[in-house]
Chains A and B, each alone.
Chain A
Amino acid sequence: MKRLGRFILALLRELADESAYQRHLAAHGRVHSTAEWRRFSEERQRVRSAMPKCC
């Protein structure tokens, strides 16, 4: 049950882009800040909003 709970939380964090943000911070050696989140989020949404969603 614990593993299932961890998996669900990991999936939700991935869908919410929270994991991607943590990876971004780690990859670029930066710390969390409002400006950093905006930079990350805008770039991610720019790419994502150019991808079609399925019908």
Chain B
Amino acid sequence: MKLLAHLFWAAVAGAAAFCLGAIALNRGEHINSIWLVLAAACSYATGYRFYSRFLAARVLALDDRRATPAERLRDGQDFEPTNKWILFGHHFAAIAGPGPLVGPVLAAQFGYLPGTLWIIIGAVLGGAAQDFVILFASMRRDGKSLGQMAREEIGKVAGFSALITVLLIMIIMLAVMALVVVNALKGSPWGAFTIAATIPIAVFMGLYLRYWRPAKVLECSAIGVVLVMAAIFAGRSVAQSAAVAPLFTLSAMALAIAIIVYGFLASALPVWLLLAPRGYLSTFVKLGVILMLGVGILFVRPELQLPAFTRFVDGTGPIFAGKIFPFCFITIACGSISGFHALIASGTTPKMIAKEGHARPIGYGSMVLESFVAIMAMIAACVLQPGVYFAVNSPPSAVGSTPAAAVATISSWGFPVTVPDLTGLAHEVGEQTLFYRTGGAPSLALGMARIFATSGGGRALIGFWYHFAIMFEALFILTILDTGTRVGRFMLQDFLGHVWKPLGRTSWMPGVVATSAAMVGAWGYFLIQGVRDPLGGINSLWPLFGISNQLLAAIALSLATTILLKMHGAKYLWITCAPLAWLVTVTFTAAWQKIFSPLPALGFLAQADRLEASLRAGTAADPAATQTLIFNARLDAVLCGVFLLLVTTILLDSMRVWIGILRGTREARVCEAPFVLSQLRAEEL
């Protein structure tokens, strides 16, 4: 039996190596997506079976006899021992956001290979290990947050810096996610109508749950899903109506303002009215669509049309500037390693784990599943014809401001495409145009629609599937916007409460309104900046978001390193130090290039200098707007610098602790809750 198991795992590991080799060495021929699916699935299975087992048994020494916080502090609400697979689903729903969908689509500009390898290797050795260790650490510390653990294990400076970093990252994240929605919905009456319809649907659900059928969340969500599907069908009629279509045909600026107003209202309105029902709806739609995409890919097994590498590995890409190193590794964060996961792993989940051993499938397992979602997004992007992919994702500044100029530029890169190709496709999916739809969401929706339509409904339903995918992405993102704005507001109130007490009270309306406005104003500013950016916004904001997210991962890994050092000395440092060293190298290089590169498409300061030169020469079309662009480019450079400074502070503070422990001048005291024998019975799980 044991021999059979050994043979089975040897075969799985061999299959992983063979499939990775096949996709890495394939050149000049289209490769079937099933190779990527198999390479990922076998790598994840091998990593889970061996690496996570090693971490659980040898490094973290998980002990099922030890009572978890869910058992010791059980209160029937936050602290509650929960079945591991249900908690797995809960945790996965919390960590899976639009990041693993959009990041791989953007990184596909380098070809399918770099992003795919980074997603698989980064998740198995970095992201999943980070999530697992942080979940373990929080579980052993009564479910404490990342900031609280950093303060206790490293010091007050690190704890405070972590809090500021999280707040700044949230501002950038919300801005860039809002920009993705704006770019997906601009000039699209069908898409704008569908998303607008989700607001009254969510309010209806809120009223239904509060007044008509309290506690019937599943029933209410089922009604909500049916209404959303009806809205997608109705969207086609809206787009075709000469009277109604203009009402929903919005410019990027109008959409940005609408989203800012929505963010403010959602942050200040009662949670039960909009935020909670939208959250339920989004969770069910998200899990359903991810499942559908997985089944669709297995059913259709499409061929990838993008090559393994494109010419843009040299840094001249139209979607975002910068070479494959370091920019591929910051563009894809959530699918391989994401600092934000550390916030989730030190939030609700550790308070619900019934047995310590469950941390392995929940912490490590959920991350590799999310990584698999990123692989599916990569496949959905790469099944598009390269010419179509670049026409949809490139801004006018990179390819030319008319469709004819754009197709000429893209065709000259070796990716032939024609205006009728794009126009025909746009009509097929019910859009006026697909040119310059930057941000990743429309091209992902095109790829998903192709897979869904091939699985069922044929080309007649491709327009429905495209808008279904757009609705899914936008609903997902808007849920993050409203929750994120609210979380940011709480953090801001927490800070400002130290300055003037009433501002800290969440029940004092002027304080709520002022801090909501400040938070929305902050991300709204960067959103407007992205809309006005001549390079398309994504070029500036997505790298800034990637850098900040990976820097948060560096903070989490510094904390994890400190904890491992206190537990085992230097023996297992490589587990967190290797991904930490990689992330520090990648993010600091990317941040340095974004600030100081002499290329205007890449460096913020060089971009400001070029704009200033155009002002001085009198060639700027709109001097006032150019002044704003100069200020924005310098602001981005400063923000990038602040991120670096904050993370450097935490790293130095951590190193001070590490050196002290290694030299023996500092006590290696872990701040774990004391051991209590578990009394939990099997039937309670």
Contact = CB atoms under 8 A, between A and B. Distances in A.
A41 B334 CA distance: 30
B99 A53 contact: no
Interface in B88-129: 89-90, 93-99
A53 B76 contact: no
A8 B568 CA distance: 40
Nearest to A16: B217
Interface string A5-32: 0010011111111111101101110001
B173 A27 contact: no
Interface stretch (B237-245, B434-442, B476-484): B476-484
B80 interface: yes
Given A54-B334, A55-B549, A15 B90 contact: yes
B271 A42 contact: yes
B487 A54 contact: no
Contact of A10 (B86, B99, B217): B86
Nearest to B283: A15
Interface stretch (B149-157, B207-215, B292-300, B457-465): B207-215
Contacts of A50: 486-487, 490
Interface centre among B170, B215, B338 (most CB of A within 10 A): B215
Contacts of B642: none
B75 A27 contact: yes
Interface stretch (B4-12, B339-347, B594-602): B339-347
A51 interface: yes
Interface stretch (B57-65, B272-280, B309-317, B572-580): B272-280
Interface centre among A13, A33, A43, A53 (most CB of B within 10 A): A53
Contacts, number: 124
B90 A17 contact: no
Chain B interface: which size bin?
35 or more
A14 B89 CA distance: 9
A55 B97 contact: yes
B215 A37 contact: yes
Interface string B142-177: 000000000000000000000000100010010001
B214 A20 contact: no
B562 interface: no
B97 A54 contact: yes
A13 to B, nearest CB: 7
Contacts of A17: 217, 280
A38 interface: yes
B276 A41 contact: yes
Interface centre among A15, A20, A33, A41 (most CB of B within 10 A): A15
B276 A55 contact: no
Contacts of B487: 49-52
A12 B276 contact: no
B215 A55 contact: no
B89 A11 contact: yes
A38 B177 contact: no
Contacts of B545: 55
Nearest to B481: A53
Contacts of A10: 83, 86
Interface string B53-88: 000000000000000000000011110101101100
Interface residues of A, number: 38
Interface in B328-360: 333-334, 338, 340-341, 343-344, 347-348
Contacts of B218: 12-13, 16, 18
A55 B173 contact: yes
B86 A14 contact: yes
Nearest to B343: A52
Given A16-B280, A18-B215, A51 B348 contact: yes
B221 interface: yes
Interface in B30-50: none
Nearest to B173: A55
A52 B146 CA distance: 12
Contacts of B99: 54-55
B284 interface: yes
A6 to B, nearest CB: 11
Given A7-B85, A14-B86, A49-B275, A37 B334 contact: no
Contact of A53 (B214, B280, B479): B479
A25 B410 CA distance: 62
A54 B275 CA distance: 16
Given A15-B89, A45-B275, A55-B177, A23 B483 contact: no
B77 A52 contact: no
A45 to B, nearest CB: 4
A11 B86 contact: yes
Contacts of A24: 76-77
Contact of B284 (A15, A23, A51): A15
A16 to B, nearest CB: 4
A51 B276 CA distance: 13
A55 B340 contact: yes
Interface centre among B217, B275, B341, B490 (most CB of A within 10 A): B217
Contacts of A14: 82, 86, 89-90
A49 B115 CA distance: 33
A54 B341 contact: yes
Given A20-B77, A23-B80, A49 B215 contact: no
Contacts of B341: 54
B344 A54 contact: yes
5 contacts: A23-B80, A51-B483, A53-B483, A55-B99, A55-B173
Interface pairs A-B: 3 shortest CB-CB: A27-B76, A16-B217, A37-B214
Given A14-B86, A37-B215, A52-B340, 19 more contacts: A11-B85, A11-B86, A15-B284, A24-B76, A24-B77, A26-B76, A27-B76, A42-B271, A44-B77, A47-B77, A52-B166, A52-B483, A52-B487, A53-B94, A53-B480, A53-B483, A54-B334, A55-B333, A55-B480
